[in-house]
Amino acid sequence: MNKAFLNLSLVLTLVLALALPAWAEPVASPIPIGLALATSSNVAHFGQEQVNGAKIAEAYLNAQGGVNGTPITLLLQDTAGDEAGAVSAFQNLIAAKVVGIVGPTLSQQAFAADPLANRAAVPVVAPSNTAKGITKLGDYISRVSAPMGVVAPKSVQKALALDPRIKRAAVLYAQNDAYSTSETGVFQQTVKANGLKLVSLQKFQTTDTDFSAKAAAVLKAKAELVVISGLAEDSSRLVRQLRQSGYKGLIVGGNGFNSPNMFPLCGAVCDGVLVAQAYSPHAQSAINQEFIRKFSEAYGSPPAQFAAQAFTAVQVMVEALRKAEQTTGKKITALDLAEARKALNTALTSGLAFHTPLGEISITSGGEVDQKRFYVSRITISPDGKTGDFVLAK
Ligand code: 1QQ
């Protein structure tokens, strides 16, 4: 290719790029919404429930006409359990021209992947990221998962209400996981604020299998309450080894205990563990009843928190898209993709009231969820040692 031709083609490309109308990058119909969730790895214990909840939302919202007559479609990318998986899922979804992303599963992944979406001005609604600082990752980052600072103290308070004689607490956490390190800070503060003595503070890895030394230390410290922040497999091993070592006191589990997939993993030893929750199947609202009915029909068991939060994240996106059509006076599919993403983010963070299975919530201008009701439940394992329930702690 000669130089003159090269220059000419460069100039032409430039002229074309400048002259291209805004609708050069249209929003597809049905409107694509990305799901970046863990359907493989150890984090799939949470992610599979999330995908199930999100799919119920897709069908439910499309049956209502989707976004004022335009259906939505969910594009799923598996993040697996680490940061690299979340980053590549986000990249693929952004390249697939989604208007927004629901995900990722872990806070640990969000700290790596969210900045990428924020730079690309793609709205993210986190369905389960509870660590401190998530919404500070950028203007395009919101969540429907209440931060641990709000939720976690309730479980320790409940334990003390159940047994006011408790004076000595042991706190254990996974040091290689962002949610766990964030939540344990809240737990440690709560323990002290309630006049308990922190007699043992221990770190572990989410990949650890041998917790016998930790269990021995808890017993030696004569702890009367054990508080754990970790993911599903590590936490259930820790509980098992604690009980096998002879620990008989109350156990408070963090958000990693909030999955029914913990029941078969943990079995009988998890019976009685107290967990704070941002969702209850007992919450009386038309949408929650409908959600529970459709979820149970589809999967044979009722939804728990992670499924309800994923449903809610998709719902919030769709209701914000409806509002964006009102405020722009245009169909989302008539907007340029960048405009649509911007209008979606503006609507998401406009303080709109969403009536969701989690109750009435809204998202602040800073992307933080404003939720009113939380619960504390006791894990109850059935005699089969595989199934169970979260039973509201009275
Ligand atoms: C986070 C969490 C996890 C337990 C979600 C599955 O709360 O990573 O923020």
Mark whether 157 and 139 lie in a shared domain.
no
Mark whether 209 and 313 lie in a shared domain.
no
Cβ(206) – ligand 1 distance below 6 Å: no
At 11 the pLDDT is 56
Q: How far apart are CA 126 and CA 58, in angstroms?
A: 17
At 105 the pLDDT is 98
Cβ(263) – ligand 1 distance below 6 Å: no
Q: How far apart are CA 130 and CA 178, in angstroms?
A: 9
Q: How far apart are CA 273 and CA 365, in angstroms?
A: 36
Mark whether 138 and 166 lie in a shared domain.
no
Mark whether 9 and 141 lie in a shared domain.
yes
Locate tokens 């800073």: which residue?
A: 366
pLDDT-flagged residues of the chain (< 50): 1, 6, 16-17, 19-20, 22-23
Strand order in the sheet with 72-78: 72-78, 31-37, 101-102, 124-126, 141-143
Q: Which domain holds residue 178?
A: 150-280+375-392
Q: How many CB atoms within 10 Å of residue 308?
A: 31
If one residue of 42, 124, 129, 228 were mutated to test the ligand 1 pocket, choosing by the most ligand atoms within 8 A of its CB, it would be 129
Cβ(129) – ligand 1 distance below 6 Å: yes
Q: How far apart are CA 206 and CA 229, in angstroms?
A: 10
Mark whether 204 and 86 lie in a shared domain.
no
DSSP state string for 99-157: S-EE--S-HHHHHHHHHHHHHTT--EEESS--STTGGGG-TTEEESS--HHHHTHHHHH
At 22 the pLDDT is 46
Mark whether 59 and 75 lie in a shared domain.
yes
Indicate which CATH number applies to the domain containing 107: 3.40.50.2300
How, if at all, do strands 168-174 and 124-126 pair?
unpaired
Relative to the CA of 109, which ligand 1 atom is closest? 8
Mark whether 135 and 257 lie in a shared domain.
no
How many domains is the chain partitioned into structurally? 2
At 181-213, the pLDDT tens digits run 999 999 999 999 999 999 999 999 999 999 999
